[in-house]
Amino acid sequence: MWALSLLWYGDRMSASYTPKPVDELQGMLTTVGLTEPFWQLT
């Protein structure tokens, strides 16, 4: 979850932050190994 926190929230303080598209967020979950149906965003 620490790795996911860095991916998901690492740029949250940036002035240029905008919400990420769902496929990018899904990619983060996949990157840290969360691929089961429970972790599907859509």
Q: Which residues bind other proteins (CB under 8 A)?
A: 1-2, 4-6, 8-10, 12-19, 29, 37-42
Sequence-distant (6+) residues with CB within 8 A of 17 are 11
What is the smallest separation between the CB atom of 33 and other proteins, expressed in angstroms? 14
What is the smallest separation between the CB atom of 3 and other proteins, expressed in angstroms? 9
What is the smallest separation between the CB atom of 10 and other proteins, expressed in angstroms? 6
